[in-house]
Chain A
Amino acid sequence: MTRETVLARIKAAQAAVADSGGGGSQGGQAPATAELPVLPVPQSFADPAALFIERARQLGVGVEIAVSIDDAAGRVPAWCRHKSVHRVAVWDTPDLAPIVASLRTEGIQILRPEAPLGELATADLGITGAAWGVAETATLVLPSSLAQPRLTSLLPPIHLAVLSADRILPDLPALFRSPGRLPSALTLITGPSRSADVGLTPVLGAHGPMEVMVFLVRNVAAEAASPLA
């Protein structure tokens, strides 16, 4: 069985290296491989949300700040009108319900996760939440689930993500320390899709969205009052 063959080759390889005294670049001194090295501690920033906003804007990601989800729900329709959006694919999660309701009253067509692919492929906008944000890189972290399809943030030409400021982590190491049990897909999104393959010229929207917009829900007053601030 190939599995056994490959594993046997690997075992033989380890024996060969051990026999010759470890080798490596020190010419005889075996590198310390018994233990995994201690990982660097995640950074901490005074105002992760502010760093996220700054770095997101550097990538051309739009950021609108709302003080609550209802505030966001009030402003998304105007933004959609401005972008000539008629058909929206959206995650079926409770936090987005006010936004969905708000869009419906505007007469914008809502596609739920179960919508057929043909319709999804014609959506102008995909609206998702985000489980976390990462400040250092302005990254959005999207898990997949029944109510949270992957294509919502991928097929439509514009992706709008609603992110709560208290979910912003300082850096990627902080994210990977404790994401819980991993979903079938955890997608890290940093800006719009891009490619520089053709003539070395950067182009947006190679396969994924050309535009990413973040509605950041941040209650500054609540933050200031919080004992954790």
Chain B
Amino acid sequence: MLAQRFLDIFGAEEQIVTPSGSCAAMVREWYPQLFRDSPEGAHRARAVGHRTFELSEFLVRVLARTDVGARLPASVVYHPSCHGLRGLGLRDEPLRLLAAVRDLRLIPLSGAEECCGFGGLFAVKFSALSGAMLATKLDAIEASGAEFVTATDASCLMHIAGGLAKRGSRVRAMHLAEVLASA
């Protein structure tokens, strides 16, 4: 139902950009599955999917920009959200954008490709597992010594930020868009 609504509202747009890898992956990869019993619906879903982008892939692949004139004099770790990474194949787009931010020091994150444990309803339904996966991610973030953690997915960040706050950590979470908007 919600998917149909999305297509109705956004269907006419030329380009749809979202600050969330998992949302973009949902539209592009999974909508055709949802509409598999309706050839018309599936066709529309695929068409809209082709015009739906996560922010970093839009900037790098569509607009061919890696330097947006940003400046952030700080150390940063990047967490590659799973659906962006494996669903959309986002590997170096966010990294190239971060590399172009002046004075930003990118620190490698150990176990970067391991899931942070958000997973939507999973975070509440299987909260113990989610918390345990989060703890591993937070340990890696804190061990890196970085001042900020960034990601392309608002949902992962909300989960990571919430965990950092609960730990009383001095590490702050910033969405990639916020990093790129820094001057």
Binding site for B on A (CB under 8 A): 27-28
Bound complex: CA A50 to CA B33 (Å): 51
Per-residue A-contact encoding for B34-51, CB less than 8 Å = 1, 0 else: 001000001000000000
Residues in A with CB closer than 8 Å to B36 are 27-28
Chain B residues 113-171 with CB under 8 Å of chain A are none
Bound complex: CA A169 to CA B36 (Å): 48
Q: How far is the CB of A23 from chain B (nearest CB, A)?
A: 9
Q: Closest 5 A-B residue pairs measured CB to CB?
A: A27-B36, A27-B33, A28-B36, A27-B32, A27-B42
Q: How far is the CB of A134 from chain B (nearest CB, A)?
A: 33
A-B contacts, 6 listed (Cβ < 8 Å): A27-B32, A27-B33, A27-B36, A27-B42, A28-B36, A28-B42
Bound complex: CA A151 to CA B58 (Å): 64
Bound complex: CA A27 to CA B36 (Å): 6
Q: How far is the CB of A7 from chain B (nearest CB, A)?
A: 30
Bound complex: CA A28 to CA B33 (Å): 9
The interface residues of chain A, by DSSP majority, are classed as: loop
Find the B residue at minimum CB distance from A28.
B36
Q: How far is the CB of A175 from chain B (nearest CB, A)?
A: 35
Find the B residue at minimum CB distance from A21.
B36
Find the A residue at minimum CB distance from B32.
A27
Q: How far is the CB of A43 from chain B (nearest CB, A)?
A: 29
Residues in B with CB closer than 8 Å to A27 are 32-33, 36, 42
Q: How far is the CB of B57 from chain A (nearest CB, A)?
A: 23
Bound complex: CA A27 to CA B41 (Å): 13
Residues in B with CB closer than 8 Å to A28 are 36, 42
Chain B residues 1-59 with CB under 8 Å of chain A are 32-33, 36, 42
Residues in A with CB closer than 8 Å to B42 are 27-28
Find the A residue at minimum CB distance from B36.
A27
Per-residue A-contact encoding for B68-88, CB less than 8 Å = 1, 0 else: 000000000000000000000
Q: How far is the CB of B131 from chain A (nearest CB, A)?
A: 26
Residues in A with CB closer than 8 Å to B32 are 27
Find the A residue at minimum CB distance from B39.
A28
Q: How far is the CB of B6 from chain A (nearest CB, A)?
A: 18
Find the A residue at minimum CB distance from B34.
A27
Bound complex: CA A27 to CA B35 (Å): 9
Find the B residue at minimum CB distance from A25.
B33
Q: How far is the CB of B12 from chain A (nearest CB, A)?
A: 24
Bound complex: CA A27 to CA B32 (Å): 8
Q: How far is the CB of A31 from chain B (nearest CB, A)?
A: 15
Bound complex: CA A27 to CA B38 (Å): 11
Bound complex: CA A28 to CA B35 (Å): 11
Bound complex: CA A55 to CA B76 (Å): 42
Q: How far is the CB of B37 from chain A (nearest CB, A)?
A: 9
Q: How far is the CB of B158 from chain A (nearest CB, A)?
A: 31
Residues in A with CB closer than 8 Å to B33 are 27
Q: How far is the CB of A30 from chain B (nearest CB, A)?
A: 13
Find the B residue at minimum CB distance from A26.
B32
Bound complex: CA A27 to CA B42 (Å): 10
Bound complex: CA A28 to CA B45 (Å): 14
Bound complex: CA A28 to CA B32 (Å): 10
Q: How far is the CB of A162 from chain B (nearest CB, A)?
A: 47
Q: How far is the CB of A123 from chain B (nearest CB, A)?
A: 49
Q: How far is the CB of A193 from chain B (nearest CB, A)?
A: 34
Q: How far is the CB of B123 from chain A (nearest CB, A)?
A: 27
Q: How far is the CB of B32 from chain A (nearest CB, A)?
A: 6
